[in-house]
Structure 1
Amino acid sequence: MKYLVILESPNKITKVKAYLEQAFPNHNFIVKASMGHITELAIKNQKYALGIDLETMTPVYNLLETKKDTVKQLHELSKKVDKVILATDPDREGEAIAWHLQEQLNCKNKAVRLIFNEITEKAVKEAFAKQSAINYSLVNAQQARQMIDRIMGFKLSGLLQKAVNLKSAGRVQSVALKLVVERELERKEHNKLEYWTIKQEYQNGNDIELFLNKAKQEIVKEKVINSKTLADQILNELSNKLVVKEIMIENFSKNRYTPFTTSSILQYASVMLNFPSERTTSLLQHLFETGYITYPRTDSVRINDDFVLDTYEYIENNYGKEYVGSYKPKKLGENAQDAHEAIRPTNISLTVEQAKREIGNHSEFMLYELIYNNTLFALMANEVGKKYRVLFENNGYICKMDYKKYTFTSYYDLQEIALNSFDYQFEIGQILNLTTEWLAEQNFTKPNARYTEPNLIKKLEIEGVGRPSTYATVMKTLINREYIKFEKKSIVPTDNGIKAYTILQKYFANIINEKYTSEMEDILDHIADNKINKTEYLKLFYKNFILDYSNATNVIFKDSIKCSKCQIGYIIQRKSYKGNLFKACNNYPDCKNIVS
């Protein structure tokens, strides 16, 4: 048989074609790429201004001008084959692209869907054996998200532009902006409080600290030393002779490594490699397309059984049986999905040393190294040891010291990490004669730190705002719109960002918030699962949204003069690109009426 295989990216073509030809030598494969989406919601459509039929909640599409030649070529090829294999990415966007290709090529009678999570011979071969039809529920979910984003984005952006000459708003980006601005407002309102700590060094950098307890509750109210006077009083009562009163021991056995999700790799790459999320997203996609890692858009920490077994064998052969782990995927968060497994190397035998010779781009290699090591360590045995807390008595006060003793360090043996492991031999009743002085240190409470990019991404994930695959775009948009800026690595809202936040929260607080946005993600998931009717939900959403929008418009422009030229817009003060102020219609560019 003769097949036309359509991928999204040309980077996949060589390997996918080779794997198919090796696995099925009796078939003929033509492998091409759509180069991503081939359509867009129609813009500047006289009948459907948003690219949406708002009565039926039906999207109206245009073929992208830049894809007309591609689609024409694919259409001609589709006529000459027995089957058209739509092998776009394994997510909602990929499903929608597959559907658009099927429609534009008019090949429904010969089209099949192919889904693989990694570009390896085994994965491609297995996917070919499990050909399916397009999942229209996933397409509906993608369309619902796209239409909601278009309605909110265009309407709210237009209102901001007309009201205060700002550039954009959006379902997810405006909630991210809300988090940044509210953190800044919290910092400005923070009331700095004084407190003191009292401690002294024991051995090897370990500190013995004053442990405020009920014995001195009448002196140390609420367990806080809030003045130098009180700190000095306590210092005068403390001696350098401690008696061991209690030893608490807790066994631990844990693995601090978890397979990467999209969100966690964005955070780690920012902290460890200083990569912004947009760069990491691009590098991940290329590593996937060239066959080095699994699909990089995922909420799951699950790893498939075959890879786990291969890795166990690799660990045993290279490090010893005692290093082999017992992998149990951690429970997914409330807002997470499990459509794809975690981000991992496609081949554990492709070591970091070998990959360095193969991967030409150094940034891609560093990211691969991060993923490889994280996956390897996640499948290794737990670190094992004991956690100690020792309580000492000193003239009626209780002091404490915490430390760990490791008995097996597992993956730490492969890394140049100095572990603090101690083996003190304390006994109940033992008296310690300390040789250093107690030190009292003045401190002040600090406001919550500003978000960094990884911290903001983590917060968005925890709150269920958007999907991890959108976070890089959200950050890029906020920066490009000059709503946020970076001071060193901290995110600071600009005056424009605060202005946009203020208006959106004044009139649209019921939809521009974490809870509503998270619930909408759940609804999109339910549409994808065919549990909610897309059209009915969109009609209800639009009815409620447009009511809020109309009310906000009436309030914002109640004292403004209606434009005499278009009878739609209002005369507002605007600023030219040179910074000059003038009055003009806010219905620009449809109306170019300038009053002064």
Structure 2
Amino acid sequence: MVESPTKATTIASYLDKDWVVVATKGHIKDLPAKSYGIDFQNSFEPEYEWLKGKKTIFSAIKTQAKLASVIYIASDPDREGEIIAKHCFDELVKLKKPMFRLRLKEISKEEVNRQIKLKSGLDFAEIESQIARRTVDRIFGFEVSPDLWRQLKISSLSAGRVQSTVLHWICEREKEIQNFSKEIYYQLKLQGSVSGESVILDHQTKDKLDSKSIQKVLTDIEILPEPNRLKEILLSEIKKKNIKRNSPPAFSTASLLETSFRVLGFDSKKTMKIAQTLFEGKSIGSGERIGLITYMRTDSTRVSDLKRELGVNYLKKHFPGLVLEGSITPKKQKKYSQDAHEAVIPIRPDYSPETIGSYLSNEERSLYTLIWERFLTSLMKPELGEETIYEFHKNNQVFIYKNEFITDSGFKAFGKRDQKKNSKKFDWKIGDRFFYESHSIEEKQTEPPVRYTQGKLVQKMEDTGVGRPSTYGSIIETLRTRKYIVEYHKSIGPTSLGMIVDDYLFLNFQEMIGESFTKDLENKLDQITEDKASRINLIQNFYDSLLGLLRTPRKKYTSTVRRYPKNNEETLPGSYAKPNPNRSAKIKASTTRISISKEQTNVKPCPVCKEGFIKTKLGKKGKTIYFCSRYPHCDYITYES
């Protein structure tokens, strides 16, 4: 019994005619959609109900199970898969047939046969952990969401525990952008030659230089007031250090999602859907179905000894000069990694993208290539070389020239990676002269913080221990569905609704949605998985803390007005047209008003009417639009902060 019909087809191809493989098509039960579904008088026991259509599907499965001599439940090897297995077990236990649990980390004939021989049972600690997470999330949503409706006077708002933490990151980044003030500075470069080699020296300074500082530097090195006075600068110091850049580790779920988004442009949902297909199996060659990658929900970059050996043997045959020889020290796992599954890697390295590419769709091939190349790269030699910094001193001013000399490109020689352009080694020595020819002054400006992309958000979730591999994609998708965030040109920003909800939640429930609390709760859930903590105690403590917050007086917004569009319709970033200078800009008016103090929002007064405050939105081309909160009574709008 598996979750997916595709996986069922693949596994069935490994077994003889005495076996029947059926699919539940995901979860069969869940907490009720419209009621609490938790028995508070009975140790927070969940009250599950059949999902729509699943009772009929499982009835057919049960009919076939009655004819079986033994039953194996092979739902996914994670928390969600374990609760699915438990629900199936509970429904079939009355048949009094032997039942075992299969945890397939990959879909291959060898793995299926190995798991069948293990005859494992349910992992009750994992089940307890899943129930704890689901119960805590249900309590938070059912208690805090109505509070949002009452306090903000906006119906149908929803609050999720982990989603609220991620929403706060996005909103805080938006506020940083709003409050950013650009700073102009200058960078000085000298053009000339050393030992006949044309070089450009960069002025070295700890502080950013304004126009007056630049004039002082030019005076110190004798370019001002007479440009022809500077002839040469002596080489005063040489600093050298070895370069060793190790190959990146194999993919975890987070790094796969981040890289897929950055390289292929696939969002989290699309990446996981394609990865699921590659995991469940494709028809290769003469019709044989085989899973192509290991389980794609993991926070580990660990590679098993067997897979490492397969990868090294493939490299020795096809790329002998790139293999990292000797014993490999396992890369340290991230602080919040459970390390329950190995990394996302190909099951068989000899199934190269060129070999099996014709059996995959273009998108499947692109993602498989990414996973295949990353795995092999992780087994390759590091890039080696030497970096030399040459320092030229003149009247307390320092100019530098950096040079990298690569002795071994290592893993960077694999595939289509660019080679280092500068691989020349200089034999300069202290006392050599830089002969000055000209100089240039570049005007630069500090850049505001950039908005998160999906990939960067997922990476932050993994780095901070917020969420787990199975929830990364759904967290972002939930925020988008609720219209709390919007994505434009790969950048994610909060909608005005998202800002309102975050302001209120963080003001009143900071203890519950703060990053430290969220990752601490994840750690406690992991302890339940390891059978080191109690589900009931965790839920009771969480519930008591939440009730304590709900009983305290609400912190109210006062003073200036924040608007929210009518009927929960959020204007997306791309819907603002560029302002026409010949007429007043049009911004859709909104209705529901919520007061927010200037101290809480760091608002800036409107420079035109002096009564409203400056609000911001993502513009059509990803730029920030600034406009007055009193529109249409004030028509101030600009792209400049």
TM-score between the two structures when normalised by the length of structure 1: 0.86
Matched with 1:235 is 218
Residues in 1 aligned to 2:199 and 2:357: alpha-carbon distance in whole angstroms? 40
Shift of 1:345: 0.6
Aligned partners of 1:20 and 1:125 also within 8 Å:
no
SS at match of 2:112: helix
User: Quick one: distance in 2 between partners of 1:41 and 1:117?
Assistant: 28
Q: What residue is the counterpart of 1:513 in the other structure?
A: 514
Structure-to-structure mapping, 1:284-323, within 5 angstroms: 284-290=275-281, 291-321=291-321, 323=323
Using the TM superposition, give the Cα deviation of residue 351 of structure 1 relative to its aligned residue in structure 2, in angstroms: 0.8
The gaps in structure 1 that reach 5 residues or longer are 1-5, 22-26, 213-222, 558-572, 584-596
> Does residue 60 of structure 1 match 2:55?
no
Specify which of 112, 135, 139 is matched with residue 151 of structure 1.
139
Please give the per-residue CA displacement for 1:523-556, whole angstroms capped at 9, x wherever unaligned. Answer: 100111111111122112112112212335x677
Q: Distance in 2 between matches of 1:575 and 1:393?
A: 65
Distance 1:244 1:426 in 2: 12
Name 1:169's counterpart in structure 2.
159
Q: State the secondary structure of the residue aligned to 1:366.
A: helix
SS at match of 1:35: coil
Aligned to 1:588: none
Deviations 1:9-44 (A, max 9, x none): 1111222122233xxxxx821111111100011244
User: Hey, what does 1:408 align to over in structure 2?
Assistant: 408
How many correspondences in the alignment? 542
Contact 2:30 2:50 in 1 (8 A): yes
The answer on 1:105 being equivalent to 2:92 is: yes
Cα gap change, 1:201 to 1:456, in 2 (>3 Å): farther
Change (3 A) 1:385 1:525: same
Find the residue that maps to 1:192 and give its secondary structure: coil
Quick one: which amino acid aligns to residue 253 of structure 2? T
The equivalent residue for 1:470 is 471
Per-residue deviation, 1:457: 1.6
Give the one of 50, 67, 82 matched to 1:80. Answer: 67
- The amino acid of 2:247's aligned partner reads R
Q: Which amino acid aligns with 1:77?
A: Q
Q: Which runs of 5+ in 2 are unaligned?
A: 222-229, 282-290, 558-563, 570-588, 594-641
Matched, 1:196 2:186: yes
Contact conserved, 1:316 with 1:324, CA < 8 A, in 2?
Answer: no
Distance in 2 (alpha carbons) for counterparts of 1:500 and 1:13: 43
Cα gap change, 1:316/1:533 in structure 2, threshold over 3 Å: closer, same or farther?
same
Return the alpha-carbon distance in structure 2 between the equivalents of residues 257 and 90 of structure 1: 26
Aligned counterpart in structure 1 of residue 170 of structure 2, from 180, 190, 199: 180
Equivalent-residue separation in structure 1 for 2:125 and 2:81 (angstroms): 13
Alpha-carbon deviation of 1:470? Answer: 1.2
Query: Which stretches of structure 1, 4 residues or longer, exceed 6 Å deviation after superposition?
Result: 202-206, 554-557, 577-583
**C-alpha spacing 1:430/1:505, structure 2 compared with 1 (3 Å):** same
Q: Offset at 1:576?
A: 5.0
Summarize the Cα distance change of 1:556–1:253 in structure 2 as closer, same or farther, 3 Å threshold: closer
- Does residue 277 of structure 1 match 2:278? no
1:138 Cα shift? 0.2
Does residue 208 (structure 1) correspond to residue 201 (structure 2)? The answer is yes
For 2:532 and 2:177, the matched residues in 1 are separated by 43
SS in 2 for 1:253: strand
Question: 1:480 and 2:481 equivalent?
Answer: yes
Seen in structure 2, the aligned counterparts of structure 1 residues 307 and 105 have a Cα distance that, compared at 3 Å, is same
Q: How far apart, CA to CA, are the structure 2 residues paired with 1:186 and 1:582? A: 26
Alpha-carbon RMSD: 2.5
* Contact kept in structure 1, 2:235 and 2:434, CA below 8 Å: no
Q: Which residue of 2 aligns with 1:10?
A: 5
One-letter identity of the residue aligned with 2:174: E
Amino acid at match of 1:269: S
Written as runs of structure 1 = structure 2, the 5 A alignment for 1:505-544 is 505-544=506-545
Q: CA deviation at 1:132?
A: 0.7
Partner of 1:384: 384
Choose the corresponding residue for 1:42, options 32, 40, 57: 32
Q: Distance in 2 between matches of 1:247 and 1:377?
A: 34
User: What letter matches 2:445 in structure 1?
Assistant: F
What does residue 438 of structure 2 align with? 437
- 1:246 deviates by 2.3
Once the two structures are superposed, residues 101-146 of structure 1 have per-residue CA deviations (whole angstroms, 9 ceiling, x without a partner) of 0002225752111112111122112111212110101000000001
* Aligned 8 A contact 1:235 1:440 in 2: no
Residue pair 2:387, 2:404 contacting (<8 A) in 1 also: yes
The aligned amino acid for 2:102 is L
Tell me if the contact between 1:259 and 1:301 (Cα under 8 Å) persists in the aligned partners.
yes
Q: Deviations over 1:243-280 (max 9, x none)?
A: 22222222233323210000000000110001111111
Per the alignment, in what secondary structure is the counterpart of residue 14 of structure 2?
helix
Shift of 1:185: 1.1
Determine whether 1:262 maps to 2:253.
yes
Instruction: Report the Cα distance in structure 1 between the residues aligned to 2:371 and 2:471, rounded to whole angstroms.
Output: 20
Secondary structure in structure 2 of the residue aligned to 1:524? helix
- Aligned to 2:22, the other structure's residue is in SS state strand
Provide the C-alpha distance between the structure 2 equivalents of 1:155 and 1:240, rounded to a whole number of angstroms.
75
* 2:213 partner amino acid: L
In structure 2, C-alpha distance between the alignment counterparts of 1:497 and 1:434, rounded to whole Å: 59
Asked if 1 retains the 8 angstrom alpha-carbon contact of 2:303 and 2:343, the reply is: yes
| Residue 163 (structure 1) shift | 3.0
Query: Which of 116, 120, 125 is the equivalent residue of 2:108?
Result: 120
- 1:236 aligned counterpart, secondary structure: helix
Q: Which residue of 2 aligns with 1:587?
A: none
Aligned 8 A contact 1:262 1:343 in 2: yes
- Between 1:118-127 and 1:173-182, the stretch displaced more is 118-127
Q: Which amino acid aligns with 1:86?
A: I
Cα-to-partner distance string for 1:335-375 (whole Å, 9 max, x where unaligned): 1111000000111000111121121x211110001011111
2:239 pairs, out of 241, 248, 257, with 248
Tell me if structure 1 keeps the 8 A contact 2:315–2:322: no
Q: 1:592 maps to what in 2?
A: none
Q: Deviations over 1:273-306 (max 9, x none)?
A: 0111111111111111111110000011111111
Indicate how the Cα distance of structure 1 residues 207 and 171 shifts in structure 2: closer, same or farther if over 3 A, else same: farther
Question: Which whole-Å deviations, capped at 9, do the CAs of 1:421-465 have from their partners, x for residues lacking one?
Answer: 322323322423345422222333333222122122222222211
Specify the alignment match of 1:51 in structure 2.
37
Deviations 1:481-537 (A, max 9, x none): 211112322211111111001110111011111000000000100111111111122
Structure 1 position 137 matched with structure 2 position 130: no
Structure 2 letter corresponding to 1:471? Y
CA distance in 2, matches of 1:556, 1:442: 46
**Matched residue, 2:57:** 70
Contact 2:247 2:380 in 1 (8 A): no
